[in-house]
Amino acid sequence: MLDRRQILAALGTTALATLAPTALFAAASIKPDDASALLVIDVQNCFLPGGSLAVKEGEQVVPVINRMAKAFSNVVMTQDWHTPGHVSFASVHSGRKPFETIDLPYGKQVLWPDHCVQGTDGAALSKDLAIPHAELIIRKGFHKDVDSYSAFLEADGKTSTGLAGYLKGRKIKRVFVAGLATDFCVAWTALDARKAGFEVYVVEDACRGIDTQGSLAKAWADMAKAGVKRIQSSDIAVSA
Ligand code: VGL
Ligand code: ZN
Asked if the peptide bond before residue 181 counts as cis, ω within 30 degrees of 0, the response is yes
Active site residue 205: no
Q: Is residue 72 part of a domain?
A: yes
Mutate which of 39, 40, 42, 189 for ligand 1 pocket (most atoms within 8 A of beta carbon): 42
Q: Which residues have a beta carbon within 5 Å of ligand 2, which is an ion? A: 80
Determine contact, residues 57/179, Cβ cutoff 8 Å. no
Confidence of residue 130 (pLDDT cuts 50, 70, 90): very high
Mutate which of 149, 186, 202, 211 for ligand 1 pocket (most atoms within 8 A of beta carbon): 149
Q: Which is the closest atom of ligand 1 to the Cα of 112? A: 3
**Percent above pLDDT 90 for the chain:** 87
In the predicted model, what is the mean pLDDT of residues 53-70?
98
Instruction: Give me the number of domains the chain comprises.
Output: 1
pLDDT reading at 31 higher than 60: yes
Question: Pairing state of beta strands 36-41 and 174-180?
Answer: parallel
Q: Is residue 145 part of a domain?
A: yes
Catalytic residue from among 46, 116, 140, 235:
140
Largest CA distance in the chain: 84
The per-residue pLDDT for 89 is 98
Q: Is residue 205 part of a domain?
A: yes
Q: Which is the closest atom of ligand 1 to the Cα of 182? A: 7
The domain of 74 spans 30-83+113-235
Q: Which is the closest atom of ligand 1 to the Cα of 188? A: 7
Distance 184 CA to ligand 2 centre (A): 9
Q: Is residue 108 part of a domain?
A: no
Q: Is residue 15 part of a domain?
A: no
Confidence of residue 24 (pLDDT cuts 50, 70, 90): low
In the predicted model, what is the mean pLDDT of residues 15-26?
53
CA gap 1, 108 in Å, rounded: 69
- 166 Cβ partners below 8 Å, 6+ apart? 76, 136, 138
Mutate which of 115, 143, 188, 218 for ligand 1 pocket (most atoms within 8 A of beta carbon): 115
Determine contact, residues 53/46, Cβ cutoff 8 Å. yes
Q: Is residue 219 part of a domain?
A: yes
Q: Which of 66-70, 84-88, 140-144, 235-239 has the lowest mean pLDDT?
A: 235-239
Q: What would the pLDDT profile of 185-201 be if each residue is shown by its tens digit?
A: 999 999 999 999 999 99
In the predicted model, what is the mean pLDDT of residues 145-173?
98
CA gap 143, 141 in Å, rounded: 6
Q: Is residue 10 part of a domain?
A: no
Active site residue 171: no
pLDDT reading at 233 higher than 50: yes
Active site residue 46: no
CA gap 109, 62 in Å, rounded: 28
Residues facing 36 on adjacent strands: 174
The per-residue pLDDT for 120 is 98
Identify which has the larger pLDDT, 11 or 46. 46
Q: Is residue 20 part of a domain?
A: no
Catalytic residue from among 80, 185, 192, 207:
185
CA gap 46, 41 in Å, rounded: 13
Which domain CATH number covers 70?
A: 3.40.50.850
The per-residue pLDDT for 239 is 79
Confidence of residue 149 (pLDDT cuts 50, 70, 90): very high
